[in-house]
Amino acid sequence: MDVQNISDVIEQYLKNILSEHEHVEIRRAEIAEQFHVVPSQINYVIKTRFTIQNGYLVESKRGGGGYIRIAKVNLLASDEVLRVLITAIGTSINQHDAFAVVQSLFDDGMLTTREANLILSAIDKDTLALHDAQVENTIRARILVGILNRLRFES
């Protein structure tokens, strides 16, 4: 029997809505009530599953009429989205988040399977083989930002 945890269920629910609409606007408390969880569980799902690295932009407005808006974006569709992604990468990125960026580029049709696999190989922990995680994450970020800039100028 395949048992999903509640975070997976909430993520899939939001992704199903996004598959039919350009974006989704939710109220954290309403979704929490719907799934019988605390509102912080909704925050966790959004912060970990709907990141720019995964191809999502999240906007929130606090207060009585507050909402959280999630939109699936093509990472290279606009210069602004690319700048946000490069800013999110910054000067350091771990292997998990870097792989998510490459997966999003592949999903958006910006990379072929072969290109994505080559990039994944280049930024893999075993390839970099450094004994200092900070240095490894810095080099990985430089490689990814360089690739993104190259793709930006080619598209």
The answer to pTM > 0.85 is: no
Contacts of residue 71, defined as CB under 8 A and 6 or more positions apart, other chains included, come to: 18, 22, 23, 24, 56, 57, 58, 59
93 contacts 141 by C-beta, under 8 angstroms: yes
Average pLDDT over residues 1-16: 84
Residue 116 confidence (pLDDT) above 90: yes
pLDDT of residue 114: 97
* Residue extents of the structural domains in the chain: 6-72, 79-154
The CATH number of the structural domain formed by 6-72 is: 3.30.56.130
**pLDDT per position as a tens digit, 46-103:** 999 998 878 888 988 876 667 899 998 876 666 777 778 888 899 999 999 999 999 9
56 contacts 72 by C-beta, under 8 angstroms: yes
Distance CA 40, CA 47 (A): 10
Tell the CATH topology of 79-154.
Answer: 1.10.1200
Closest CA to 69 of 20, 29, 27, 117: 27
User: Does 79-154 match 6-72 at the fold level?
Assistant: no
